[in-house]
Amino acid sequence: MEHRFQVDLRGIVDLLSHHLYASPRVYARELLQNATDAITARREFDAAAGPGRIVVEPLPDGALRVHDNGIGLTEPEVHLFLASVGRTSKRDDLGFARQDFLGQFGIGLLSCFMVADAVEVVSRSAKGGPAVRWTGHADGRYTTETDDTARAEVGTTVTLRPRTDTRHWLVPDRVGELVRFYAHLLDVDVELVAPDAAPVRLTDERAPWEIDHPSPEERHAALIDYGRQLLGTRPMDVIDLRVPEAGLVGVGFVLPSASAVGQGGHRVYLKRMLLSEDASKVVPEWAFFIRCVVDTAVLRPTASREALYEDDLLSSVRQSLGEQIRGWLLDLSVNHPDRLSAFLRVHHLGVKALAVRDDEMLRLVDAWLPFETSRGAMPLRVFRRGLSMVRYVETVDEFRSLAAIASAAGTPLVNAGYAYDSEILQRLRRVDPTIQVRRLDPGELAARLDPLPPGQEAAAAGFLETARTVLADLGCKPLLRQFDPVTVPALYIVGQQAANQDSLRRSIEASDELWSDVLSAFDDVEVDHRPELVFNWRHPLVRRIAADPSGPAVRHAVEALYGQALLAGHHPLRAVDTAALNRSFLALLDRAFTGPPNRWTGDGPTEEKS
């Protein structure tokens, strides 16, 4: 047997009026929308009808009336459309939403029950018949009566009587504010007629982007000013936006300060009625630095009318707006590189965050964003000219200690020590498949430094031997090379394998017996991966020390150079390192001041001469 669903009307009214919309304020939007649609319908029905007009009239007793001179409703239409939830006069015969109307779902009027227990509609139809009065209640009851004296002219008046807890929504100031908020762009006259106050027109003549100005410069200045009012701060630039297939026009403001990468914050009007001040997904994710203000005739609203419905059309609009914003960036890069630099200075972090995922942003970063390199600050595209391999280091400290040396050794370096840098470098092949990108292994750098000039190795052998003994206690081994800059006497290098071995050994020390046995199996004890202290033969001090390898101060000199190299490379100091540094520092000072002890302080410390 077939049955029909039973609908609890009170439940449905409650659900739609209290849970669909984010705030009771939308009642104003729904009333204005209905009045505007009625005016559109009247123009279609009777081309000779005069201009449309809506009057919003807060009454002294706290009620609110909204009058329009639209098409009105006949008595049968009142039953059909006002009394059936979900029934609308704004769809075509096939049930599709009609382009020329704002409404489409047949539920908007229910929003009035958020601020009123009863809604009264008095209407006279342009199609003829007597005036009719309909009164609906929040519990789902309604009454209808014809009353030809209720209204003389064609059109409709809706009256809301507030509950005690909702009176504040209907006071004149609030009403004026809400009407302007939602409807200031409507191309119908909307007037506020409040008790004891002169009527006020609430709609603007034109949208800011539609206003004619004597020159493009003045238009630009006016739009920037509009952006300042909206954003509360002066936008960096303004871009005209237009997508004819979606009947979309408007502007995009370039934010003047860095913002979190996000997709919201756009102001969207739908057929000139504000849909949302915080619409999302209007532009592609990478265009996070843009805030749009657009009016569209074709995009679909969700039923709450507070967001855009995600469909193919929205996605093609997004793409098209993305093209226009990209065009703006491209124009900056070609014609105004200084403005592009200013833009990147502000938004570099967000641009970099997206370059990790978006090839377009990656291209922009590659071409324009300056990176710190051993050749100076420059975009990667410039840096890699003539190189087949881009080498980078992953920390700022590593860059500071290695850049000059690597560069002198013919290995230019990029500092990828800041947020997103190494990810960007690893993705670089997406924009240039011919390039190799590799993280510099400092161990590999040591291999690229020049050996000593022929014949000098023997002269340095004694020194190397002493250094080997001293450094063995510190878990390090010496190497003698000649490299630039000559001002660096020694370089402490932890190769990738040394770093791996070091962290493995630390884990073994920290783990329990079972694990330490398992981990030990990985420890390649046979191969000596210890960090290296590379002495620079070009440095005069190194050569002077090496000239007398058996001299008493050589051990201290080696420890001191070791400590200095650790400090210069910002390497962490272990307790043994600090001890070596202190020991050598004091011993060398002691040697420098060789006079007799001060007679007032006794004998002083005994000089240790080793």
Ligand X SMILES: Nc1ncnc2c1ncn2[C@@H]1O[C@H](COP(=O)(O)OP(=O)(O)OP(=O)(O)O)[C@@H](O)[C@H]1O
Contacts with ligand X, residue ranges (CB under 6 A): 30, 33-35, 38, 68, 70-73, 81-82, 88-90, 103-109, 156
CA angle 228–232–234, rounded 5-degree value: 40
Smallest gap from Cβ 157 to ligand X, in A, equals 8
Smallest gap from Cβ 16 to ligand X, in A, equals 9
Smallest gap from Cβ 154 to ligand X, in A, equals 10
Smallest gap from Cβ 246 to ligand X, in A, equals 19
- The DSSP call for residue 260 is -
Output 33 or 415, the one with its CB closest to ligand X.
33
Whole-angstrom Cα Rg for the chain? 39
Smallest gap from Cβ 155 to ligand X, in A, equals 8
C-alpha pair distances (Å), 200 with each of 29, 57, 172, 197 = 18, 11, 11, 9
Residue in the block written with tokens 């800041």: 418
**Residue 560 φ/ψ region, left for φ over 0, alpha for ψ in the -120 to 50 degree band, beta for the rest:** alpha
Closest to 427 measured CA to CA, from 354, 370, 322: 354
Output 81 or 181, the one with its CB closest to ligand X.
81
Residue in the block written with tokens 């980078």: 392
Output 222 or 303, the one with its CB closest to ligand X.
303
Smallest gap from Cβ 418 to ligand X, in A, equals 50
Three-state SS at 150: coil
C-alpha pair distances (Å), 147 with each of 55, 133, 134, 151, 354 = 22, 7, 10, 8, 64
C-alpha pair distances (Å), 46 with each of 51, 71, 125, 155, 190 = 11, 9, 12, 13, 21
Smallest gap from Cβ 433 to ligand X, in A, equals 52
Smallest gap from Cβ 179 to ligand X, in A, equals 15
CA angle 196–202–207, rounded 5-degree value: 165
Output 107 or 282, the one with its CB closest to ligand X.
107
Output 52 or 284, the one with its CB closest to ligand X.
52
Residues sharing a CB contact under 8 Å with residue 333, sequence separation 6 or more, in sequence order: 340, 364, 367, 368
Can you read off the two tokens belonging to residue 510?
Answer: 């920290």
- The DSSP call for residue 282 is S
Can you read off the two tokens belonging to residue 550?
Answer: 């058996």
Count the Cβ atoms, other than its own, within 10 Å of residue 431: 18
The total number of residues written for the chain in this structure: 610
Smallest gap from Cβ 8 to ligand X, in A, equals 19
218-223: long-range contacts, CB 8 A cutoff, minimum separation 24: 223/251
